[in-house]
């Protein structure tokens, strides 16, 4: 009996020790989870039950100098699906393919994915949205997204550029000023249950996302339309492949029109080619040819090496220079400098360049802005190509005299001519006058900027 009592006490003591040890282990584990790993598990739980609901802001408008809209943001609905909630994949695939004009196999493949969310079609038409809404199917929903619309179609298309479906600028002003136009993205927290259903939204009710800034341009839609019309007619007349027209206010640098051919319609950007999207006015270099003679004329007059009535013998249209034969289109004898400029005599300009010398000529080419970017507020600008005077061969002085052996952009040439027109000031060109915020506040503003004085008013 005594042994039995001792045995019971032993077993009770052992059980007590085991119980205390177990409690200690559980307590220790609880402390470890709560104190040491509490934050990580909290974040894990939030990731499983709390999702961030991203709300895109309304993109700002692009307006010409008179306030005419060139780019606007409208709201359209996008269709999405929750594959794990769909009861009849085949039936829903057929319905969606028929309503949205999609391929049945592609829709079915999306609905069979092991994902909680898939886009079916972005930015559908109002009629499509109504038909989707009428289906009222579990696992199918729609979401409002901003849709970019260009009411003037191809007008200034390469200047304006375009955006993708996530409201990000990809080319043109849409890219250059994307941070101003896009606005600040908003978000709220969405709580979901174990089945992924939304049960609580924190901050969605009354969530106000301020729109992006409005861009006010220097472009004049009427002048832009005329420039594009005349460019297209000229291209057709001379059977050219491409062309550019630039209209600039010489005293301020404001670009009133910038036309490119081939034309580009940003409403259909996905169907247009890279050549159509290309803004050749700033992205393409070319040999300026006889248009460059104005630069030489201005430099020669500024340096005083010629006078307007100085006579030059134009060799009757054929001149041997540095081992090459230079021709004119017509046979000219003695001509005053003013007449040489009027008839665009290559031989006459070679003789003017000989009097100026290559070092001084190169200095003025640089001062007029060639071989360097103009700084216009458009993406994709190139500096052109200008070799240093010390690298010129014997014949380069002659070829540079009539615009060969140098590469310039249309914008560089336009600003050089603007400097001649305004009395000798090289201006920085710009196409955006100002950016206004949602409350009308000025977020950014361009002002006329003189790059340098190139020639005095006594020049050409």
Q: Tokens for 155, please give them.
A: 């007008």
In CATH, which superfamily holds the domain spanning 290-403?
Answer: DD-peptidase/beta-lactamase superfamily (3.40.710.10)
Better-predicted residue by pLDDT, 224 or 47: 224
Among 95-104, 191-200, 202-211, the minimum mean pLDDT is found in 191-200
Residue 205 — very low, low, confident or very high, per pLDDT cuts 50/70/90? very low
What pLDDT, on the 0 to 100 scale, is given for residue 459? 44
Residue 30: is its pLDDT beyond 80?
no
Q: Which residues are CB-neighbours of 97 under 8 A, at least 6 positions away?
A: 103, 104, 107
User: Taking CA 60 as the corner, what is the angle to CA 59 and CA 64, rounded to the nearest 5 degrees?
Assistant: 140
Among 4, 290, 338, 345, the active-site one is 290
Q: Which of 26-30, 161-165, 409-413 has the lowest mean pLDDT?
A: 26-30
Q: Please check the confidence at residue 300 and state whether its pLDDT lies above 70.
A: yes
Rounded (5°) CA angle 281-287-289: 110
Which range has the worst mean pLDDT, 10-24, 137-151, 284-298? 10-24
List pLDDT tens digits, range 41-91.
555 454 454 444 455 678 999 999 999 999 998 877 888 888 888 888 888
Residue 414 Cα distances to 49, 330, 371, 374, 446, angstroms: 60, 28, 14, 10, 19
| pLDDT (average), residues 333-355 | 95
How far apart CA 21 and CA 162 sit, in angstroms, is 69
Q: Is residue 6 over pLDDT 70?
A: no
Q: What integer best gives the mean pLDDT of the chain?
A: 86
Answer yes or no: is pLDDT of 267 > 70. yes
pLDDT band at 16, cuts 50/70/90?
Answer: confident
Only one residue has tokens 């009770």, namely 12
Chain center to CA of 273: 16
Residues with Cβ within 8 Å of 356's Cβ and at least 6 positions away in sequence, in order, are 296, 299, 300, 303, 305
**What is the sign, positive or negative, of the torsion defined by CA atoms of 192, 198, 203, 204?**
positive
Is the model's pLDDT at 184 over the cut of 80? no
Q: Which of 413, 414, 418, 395 is nearest to 405 (CA)?
A: 395
> What fold does the segment set 72-151 form as a domain?
Penicillin-binding protein 2a (Domain 2) (3.90.1310)
Query: Taking a C-beta distance cutoff of 8 angstroms, is the pair 138, 87 a contact?
Result: yes
- What's the confidence (pLDDT) of residue 411? 98
Domain with CATH 3.90.1310.10 in the chain: 72-151
Task: Write down the pLDDT at residue 206.
Answer: 46
Mean pLDDT across 301-327: 93
**Predicted confidence band at 200 (pLDDT cuts at 50, 70, 90)?**
very low
Reported pTM? 0.76
What residues are paired with 428 via a beta bridge? Answer: none
Taking residues 245-271, report their average pLDDT.
96
78 part of the active site: no
CATH 3.40.710.10 residue window(s) in the chain:
290-403
pLDDT of residue 2: 52
With a pLDDT cut of 70, the percent of the chain lying above it is 86
Q: What percent of the chain has pLDDT over 90?
A: 60
Q: Tell me: the pLDDT tens digits for 395-408?
A: 999 999 999 999 99
């Amino acid at each position: 009996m005594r042994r039995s009592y001792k045995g019971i006490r032993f077993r009770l003591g052992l059980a007590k020790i085991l119980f205390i040890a177990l409690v200690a282990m559980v307590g220790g584990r609880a402390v470890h989870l709560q104190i040491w790993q509490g934050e990580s598990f909290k974040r894990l739980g939030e990731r499983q039950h709390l999702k961030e609901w991203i709300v895109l802001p309304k993109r700002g408008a692009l307006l010409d100098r008179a306030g005419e809209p060139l780019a606007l943001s409208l709201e359209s609905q996008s269709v999405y699906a929750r594959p794990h909630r769909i009861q009849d994949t085949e039936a829903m695939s057929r319905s969606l393919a028929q309503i949205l004009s999609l391929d049945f196999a592609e829709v079915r493949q999306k609905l069979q994915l092991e994902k909680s969310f898939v886009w079916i079609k972005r930015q559908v038409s109002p009629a499509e949205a109504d038909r989707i809404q009428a289906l009222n199917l579990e696992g199918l929903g729609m979401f409002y997204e901003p849709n970019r619309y260009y009411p003037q179609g191809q007008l200034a298309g390469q200047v304006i550029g375009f955006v993708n479906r996530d409201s990000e600028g990809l080319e043109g002003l849409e890219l250059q000023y994307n941070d101003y136009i896009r606005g600040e993205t908003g978000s709220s927290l969405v709580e979901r249950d174990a089945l992924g259903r939304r049960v609580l939204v924190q901050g969605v009710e009354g969530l106000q996302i301020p729109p992006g800034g409005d861009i006010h341009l220097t472009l004049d839609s009427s002048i832009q339309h005329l420039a594009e019309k005349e460019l297209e007619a000229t291209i057709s007349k001379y059977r050219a492949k491409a062309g550019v027209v630039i209209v600039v206010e010489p005293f301020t640098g404001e670009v009133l029109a910038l036309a490119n051919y081939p034309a580009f319609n940003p409403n259909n950007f996905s169907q247009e080619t890279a050549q159509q999207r290309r803004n050749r006015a700033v992205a393409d270099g070319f040999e300026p040819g006889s248009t460059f003679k104005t630069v030489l004329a201005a430099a020669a007059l500024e340096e005083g090496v010629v006078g307007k009535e100085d006579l030059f013998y134009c060799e009757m249209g054929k001149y041997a220079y540095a081992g090459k034969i230079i021709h004119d289109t017509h046979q000219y004898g003695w001509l005053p400098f003013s007449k040489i400029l009027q008839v665009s005599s290559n031989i006459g300009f070679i003789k003017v360049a000989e009097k100026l010398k290559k070092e001084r000529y190169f200095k003025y080419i640089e001062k007029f802005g060639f071989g360097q970017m103009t700084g216009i507020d458009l993406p994709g600008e190139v500096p052109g190509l200008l070799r240093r005077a010390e690298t010129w061969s014997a014949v380069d002085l002659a070829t540079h005299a009539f615009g060969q052996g140098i590469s310039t952009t249309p914008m560089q040439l336009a600003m050089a001519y603007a400097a001649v027109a305004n009395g000798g000031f090289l201006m920085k060109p710009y196409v955006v006058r100002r950016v206004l915020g949602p409350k009308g506040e000025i977020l950014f503003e361009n002002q006329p900027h003189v790059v340098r004085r190139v020639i005095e008013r006594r020049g050409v």
